[in-house]
């Protein structure tokens, strides 16, 4: 049997979690080799990256269609490589639109599939749960509410906790006090979302600078994104700092609050205890399609975990410079009444409690290797396994 595990991560957040999982797998079995598709985190962890996750980093339904020829070429290349290498297992991380196709390939090659960071089929297209039941050996969740959804389909799911609890490491951040005039900006990790959001963030900053002249704006660069790209979409007349990604959680903690693209980073900000205004824009066609398909009331994971709006969300047409500035002004102005930011920080304490303690990557690695060895116990569908 091959000692190679094929890991596939299609987005920056999956790349980050994949690297932590890979390191946990290595610590349990040093003979393992890893290849597949990854980004900077997985490559730094030692993945033999035959394909680059950056080549798949697109957003929106219509935007994906524009990249379809490249996606099909990647899938064809992966099929040939997996048929040649015969990895012991395929581990896919998030990115369902691509990975469902890769899972079909692995299933046809009789390669067992483990889905780490189970896809959000509860948010849209829930019927795809049947595909997962028929094609995936184990489904591994990092969100506490997912077990109830999959139970409706007669499926078990292993909840291992959330790896961001380890990565963000709140105990090392809690002593950092926010600067009252520092506003952090996180416009995303994909070129298209940066192009859609950062100009509106800049318009909001221009308005807020007139109302609150002491404010300082700092744009936090995502890994793999050049500062030049951010500067190209930021208004030249609005002063801003551009921060490196390596210590982003510490810098986020220094901010009074954040203005962020919807995505994993909003859960990072929740775990760091930083109030956040969530913003997002898609192409008009993508947004209208998504609106008819999405079945959840929020897009922010922080809001979904608590099942109420903790982080305000401004989406599509509401995501414009004036609306963003108005919302932020309600947080900054003394006439706003109760301290909304302080109340939000209390809610973030509850999110950390619900996600539990550290060790998610280690638990996921143990589950995968024990299952491959045929020694793991099945998790009943009504349970949320943490071991």
Q: What is the mean pLDDT of residues 9-24?
A: 92
Which residues are CB-neighbours of 11 under 8 A, at least 6 positions away?
A: 53, 56, 57, 94, 95, 189
Please state, as a whole number, how many other Cβ atoms lie within 10 Å of the Cβ of residue 238: 16
Instruction: Report pLDDT digits (tens) over 149-175.
Output: 888 888 879 999 999 999 999 999 999
pLDDT computed for residue 50 by the predictor = 93
Q: Do 33 and 71 contact (CB within 8 A), yes or no?
A: no
Q: Is 310 left (phi over 0), alpha (psi -120 to 50) or beta?
A: alpha
Cα end-to-end span (Å), the chain: 26
pLDDT computed for residue 297 by the predictor = 82
Which residues are CB-neighbours of 343 under 8 A, at least 6 positions away?
A: none
pLDDT computed for residue 61 by the predictor = 46
What is the four-CA torsion angle of 92, 223, 313, 301, rounded to 10 degrees? 30
Query: Of residues 62 and 365, which shows the higher confidence score?
Result: 365
Counting Cα atoms < 13 Å in the Cβ hemisphere of 171 gives 4
Q: What is the CATH number of domain 170-355?
A: 3.40.50.2000
Q: Which residues of 69-95 are buried (b: 16+ CB within 10 A; e: fewer)?
A: eebeebbeebbeebeebebbbbbbbbb
Task: Return the sign of the alpha-carbon dihedral for residues 315, 316, 320, 326.
Answer: negative
Instruction: Report pLDDT digits (tens) over 299-334.
Output: 899 999 999 999 999 998 899 999 999 999 999 885
Can you read off the two tokens belonging to residue 196? 């859609």
Q: Do 259 and 277 contact (CB within 8 A), yes or no?
A: yes
pLDDT computed for residue 380 by the predictor = 41
Backbone angles phi, psi at 162, to 5 degrees: -115, 125
The lowest-confidence range among 4-8, 103-107, 129-133, 205-209 is 129-133
The lowest-confidence range among 99-108, 117-126, 197-206, 320-329 is 117-126
Q: Is 353 left (phi over 0), alpha (psi -120 to 50) or beta?
A: alpha
- 183: β partners: 217, 257
What are the E-state strand segments in the chain? 4-9, 33-38, 48-52, 89-93, 113-116, 138-141, 158-159, 182-186, 216-220, 241-243, 257-261, 276-280, 313-315
Choose which CATH entry (3.40.50.2000, 3.30.420.80, 3.40.50.80, 3.20.20.70) describes domain 4-163+359-372.
Answer: 3.40.50.2000
Instruction: Report pLDDT digits (tens) over 325-372.
Output: 999 999 988 565 568 888 899 999 999 999 989 999 999 999 999 999
pLDDT computed for residue 285 by the predictor = 65
What span, in angstroms and rounded, lies between the C-alpha atoms of 369 and 238?
52
What is the four-CA torsion angle of 72, 57, 271, 277, rounded to 10 degrees? -120
Can you read off the two tokens belonging to residue 360? 């998610």
How would you classify the pairing of strands 113-116 and 33-38?
unpaired
What span, in angstroms and rounded, lies between the C-alpha atoms of 39 and 53?
5
Question: Which residues of the chain are in CATH 3.40.50.2000 domains?
Answer: 4-163+359-372, 170-355
SS3 7: strand
pLDDT computed for residue 218 by the predictor = 97
**How confident is residue 290, by pLDDT bands cut at 50, 70 and 90?**
low
Instruction: Report pLDDT digits (tens) over 226-276.
Output: 999 999 999 999 999 999 998 899 999 999 999 999 988 999 999 999 999
Instruction: Report pLDDT digits (tens) over 33-53.
Output: 999 999 999 999 999 999 988
Instruction: Report pLDDT digits (tens) over 170-214.
Output: 999 999 999 999 999 999 988 889 999 999 999 999 999 999 999
Q: Do 100 and 120 contact (CB within 8 A), yes or no?
A: no
Mean pLDDT for the chain overall: 88
pLDDT computed for residue 288 by the predictor = 62
**How confident is residue 383, by pLDDT bands cut at 50, 70 and 90?**
very low
User: pTM (2 decimals)?
Assistant: 0.83
pLDDT computed for residue 21 by the predictor = 97
Q: What is the mean pLDDT of residues 280-296?
A: 68
The lowest-confidence range among 21-25, 47-51, 382-386 is 382-386
pLDDT computed for residue 236 by the predictor = 94
**How confident is residue 382, by pLDDT bands cut at 50, 70 and 90?**
very low
**How confident is residue 66, by pLDDT bands cut at 50, 70 and 90?**
low
Q: Is 241 left (phi over 0), alpha (psi -120 to 50) or beta?
A: beta
Q: What is the mean pLDDT of residues 111-119?
A: 94
């Amino acid at each position: 049997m091959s000692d190679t595990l094929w890991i596939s991560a299609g987005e920056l957040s999956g790349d980050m979690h994949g690297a932590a999982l890979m390191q946990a797998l290595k610590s349990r079995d040093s003979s393992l080799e890893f290849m597949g598709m990854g980004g900077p985190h997985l490559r730094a962890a030692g993945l033999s990256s035959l394909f680059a996750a950056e080549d798949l980093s697109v957003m929106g339904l219509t935007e994906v269609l524009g990249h379809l020829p490249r996606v099909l070429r990647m899938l064809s290349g992966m099929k040939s490589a997996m048929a040649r290498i015969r990895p012991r297992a395929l581990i896919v991380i998030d990115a369902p639109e691509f990975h469902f196709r890769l899972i079909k390939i692995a299933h046809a090659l009789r390669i067992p599939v483990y889905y780490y960071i189970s896809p959000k089929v509860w948010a849209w297209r829930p019927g795809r749960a049947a595909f997962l039941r028929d094609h995936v050996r184990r489904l591994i969740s990092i969100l506490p509410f997912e077990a109830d959804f999959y139970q409706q389909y007669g499926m078990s799911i292993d909840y291992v906790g959330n790896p961001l609890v380890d990565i963000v490491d709140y105990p090392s951040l809690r002593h950092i006090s926010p600067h009252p005039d520092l506003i952090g900006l996180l416009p995303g990790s994909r070129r298209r979302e940066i192009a859609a959001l950062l100009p509106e963030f800049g318009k909001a900053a221009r308005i807020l600078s007139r109302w609150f002249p002491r404010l300082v704006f700092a744009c936090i660069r995502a890994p793999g994104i050049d500062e030049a790209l951010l500067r190209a979409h930021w208004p030249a007349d609005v002063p801003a700092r551009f921060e490196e990604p390596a210590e982003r959680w510490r810098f986020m903690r220094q901010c009074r609050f954040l203005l962020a693209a919807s995505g994993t980073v909003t859960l990072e900000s929740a775990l760091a205890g930083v109030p956040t205004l969530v913003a997002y824009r898609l192409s008009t066609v993508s947004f209208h399609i998504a609106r008819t398909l999405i079945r959840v009331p929020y897009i922010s994971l922080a809001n979904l975990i608590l099942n109420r709006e903790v982080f305000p969300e401004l989406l599509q047409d509401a995501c414009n410079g004036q609306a963003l500035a108005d919302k932020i002004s309600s947080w900054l102005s003394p006439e706003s009444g109760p301290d909304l930011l302080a109340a939000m920080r209390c809610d973030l304490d509850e999110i950390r409690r619900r996600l539990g303690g550290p060790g998610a990557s280690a638990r996921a690695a143990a589950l995968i290797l024990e299952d491959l060895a045929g020694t793991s116990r099945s998790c009943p569908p009504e349970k949320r396994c943490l071991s």
